[in-house]
Amino acid sequence: MAAIPTKPSGQPGKMKKDESLLGKLGGTLVRKKKIKEGNVCQDIFLLSSLLFAEENAERTILDPTSREDLNFKDLQKVLIDWINSELEEDRIIVKDLEEDLYDGQVLQKLFEKLSGHKLNVAEVTQSEIGQKQKLQTVLEAVNGVLRPLDWNTEWSVDSIHSKNLVSIVYLLLALAIYYAAPIRLPERVSIRVIVVKKKEGILQTAHVTKQLTKRDAFDTLLDHAPDKLNVVKMSLITFVNKHLNKLNLEVTELESQFADGVYLVLLMGLLENYFVPLYNFYLTPESFEQKVHNVAFAFELMQDGGLQKPKARPEDVVNLNLKSTLRVLYNLFTNYKNSE
């Protein structure tokens, strides 16, 4: 399978705090352990460019400690896996967000796949001018889609092309959320960035914490793209009926037909390919307690199947809470979308 070539990151080496521009500017900017030379060079280039920039110019770089944050690494892996899944037919393999996305080629293919619209750009661009022109076209298209939602754009042509990981991640999160990517984003991922500003000819630094993800992708979807709710509901109905039809059952209303837990239990049996003994749940529940028992039992089956414990409470599903029901089914869809 062809892969987008990535540049070697170089041999890692230790740096002393007073040996680099980063050390002089921030004190805590450089880790004592080994780091990627490529990342350091990018940051030094960005900061050095400020010396010749206009007054009040500003640059933002990722704090080296955040680069090693496990939650942030997990988020990057989720995004990389999602891109590779979407672009599998194009024989594109992304390994590193900074090295593989800065020239606009992958972002072009990803946006075209998600939106279903072909962009009028050159397929291959080797020059810096050509790459930035492609990025300009891609970002204009992305921003055009997000503009009605008043999305706060944390990216630009220059930041993406300069391999600013924070900008790249923000852009991918916006696409994943808007197009309802079937992924589970790590929650409450935050990073520290160093904001460097030129004021009266002097470079001033400040550390700022940025929240990349607050809640899961489903909650964020409802917040930023409520118009996508019906699209999500139809996708979930198609998914559950694909399996429940095997028992001659069909769902038309998600919030009501899963409220007693029966379809949820049967669906788990179908997804995991086993028969659920009827004595384990109420096939025709009548009381609130019996319905809660069914939903709670379905949650146990999910955990037995390796899924995380659902965030929703069984009582919320029984009480016809649409968000809770959709969250449970969305989690199943994410994990079993390729199941036959």
* Per-residue model confidence as pLDDT tens for the chain (340 residues): 344 343 334 444 443 433 443 443 343 333 333 435 556 555 555 565 655 567 777 778 888 899 999 999 999 999 999 999 899 888 999 999 999 999 999 999 999 999 989 998 887 778 999 999 999 999 999 999 888 777 788 899 999 999 999 999 999 999 988 887 767 778 789 999 988 887 877 878 888 999 898 765 566 666 666 677 778 888 899 999 999 999 999 999 988 999 999 999 999 999 998 899 999 999 999 999 999 999 999 999 998 888 877 777 889 899 998 888 988 998 888 888 777 7
Rg, the chain, Cα only = 24
Token pair for residue 141? Answer: 């298209």
| Residue 206 backbone phi and psi in degrees, to 5 | -150, 140
Give 99-120 pLDDT, tens digit per residue. Answer: 999 999 999 999 999 998 999 8
Domains recognised in the chain with CATH numbers: 37-211 (1.10.418.10), 217-337 (1.10.418.10)
- Is pTM beyond 0.75? Reply is no
- For residues 180 and 228, is the Cβ–Cβ distance under 8 A? yes
CA–CA dist 175, 10 (Å, integer) = 31
- For residues 190 and 211, is the Cβ–Cβ distance under 8 A? yes
CA–CA dist 30, 214 (Å, integer) = 27
The number of CA neighbours under 13 Å toward the Cβ of 288 is: 6
